[in-house]
């Protein structure tokens, strides 16, 4: 991959992560939410993996670590949703427009969901590319 792609992907990478976090945090107040945020963050990582040969990337992140993060995040998401249903935190019904702290479980479920999705896609595409 030539220098233009390498340099531009290296510059774009933090912006994509920030955009993904923004989408995750504003999920209940605008378009977005867990899933698109995860996809955007995953695309940031995959852009790096494609631009550089993976031998250089391999020492930067470890595939097993990403799978661990994914399962732990998925499990925490499950626990929080169960607790939310059990203890009757509202999901959407207590929502006040434009107030980021209302909406009960929605905020944490967005963040955790985006982490799950991002790590899952990175693992999948990384293992496909490694073949």
Partner 1 sequence: MLTFEIWSFVSVIVLIATGILTAITGLKRKHSRGAPLVAIAGIITASVFVILTIPDVWGGKILSFQMGGWIAPFGITIVVDMLTLVFSLLIVGIGLFATVFSYKYIKNRRPEFYALICLMMAGLLGIVHTGDLFNLFVFFEISNVSSYALVAYYRKRHAAEASIKFLILGSLATSMILLGITLVYASIGTLNMADLVLKMPLATGFMIPIALVFMLTGFMFKAGIFPFHFWLPDAHPAAPSPISAMLSGVVISTGVYAVLRVGFIVFGALSTMLTILMFFGIASMLIGAVFAILQNDLKRMLAYSSISQVGYIVMSIGLGTSLGLVGGVFHIVNHAIIKSLLFLCAGVIIYHARTSDMAEIGKRIRFGPVLTYAFLIGVLALAGVPFLNGFASKWVIYLSTFEFSVLLTIFTIVISVLTFAYGIRAFYLIFVSGDGAPEHKTPRSMLAPIIILAVICILIGLLPQIGIAVSESMCSGLDPVVYAGAVLG
Partner 2 sequence: MMAYLTAVFMILAGITAIILRDNLLKKIIGLSVFSNGLHLLIISIGYRTGGIAPIMQGSNAAAFAQAAVDPLPQALVLTSIVINTSVVALALVIAIEVHRHFKTLDMRKVKSLKG
- Please give the residue ranges that form the binding site for partner 2 (CB under 8 A): 29-31, 33, 35, 39, 97-98, 121, 124, 127-128, 131
Residues in the chain: 131
Q: Pick one of partner 2, partner 1, none as the site partner of residue 30 (Cβ within 5 to 8 A by kind).
A: partner 2
Which window, 10-18, 39-47, 49-57, 62-70, contacts partner 1 (CB under 8 A)? 62-70
Please state the closest distance from residue 107 (CB atom) to partner 1, in A: 17
| CA-to-CA dists, residue 45 to 23, 29, 53, 70, angstroms | 17, 26, 13, 15
Of residues 64 through 93, those in contact with partner 1 by CB under 8 A are 64, 67-68, 71-72, 74-75, 78, 82, 85-86, 91-93
Instruction: Say how far apart CA 47 and CA 66 lie, in whole Å.
Output: 16
| Tokens at 130, concatenated | 């490694």
The CB-of-95 to partner 2 minimum distance in angstroms stands at: 8
The contacts of residue 100 (CB under 8 Å, 6+ apart) are 25, 26, 28, 29, 107
Closest contact distance (angstroms) between CB of 7 and partner 2 is 29
> Cα separation of 47 and 33, whole Å?
22
């Amino acid at each position: 991959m030539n220098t233009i792609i390498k340099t531009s992907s290296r510059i774009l990478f933090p912006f994509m992560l920030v955009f993904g976090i923004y989408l995750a945090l504003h999920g209940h107040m605008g378009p977005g939410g867990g899933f698109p945020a995860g996809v955007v963050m995953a695309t940031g990582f995959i852009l790096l993996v494609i631009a550089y040969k993976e031998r250089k990337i391999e020492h930067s992140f470890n595939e097993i670590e990403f799978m661990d993060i994914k399962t732990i995040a998925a499990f925490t998401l499950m626990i929080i949703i169960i607790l939310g249903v059990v203890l009757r935190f509202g999901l959407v019904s207590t929502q006040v427009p434009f107030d980021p702290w209302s909406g009960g479980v929605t905020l944490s479920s967005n963040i955790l969901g985006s982490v799950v999705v991002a790590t899952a896609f990175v693992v999948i595409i990384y293992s496909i590319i490694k073949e």
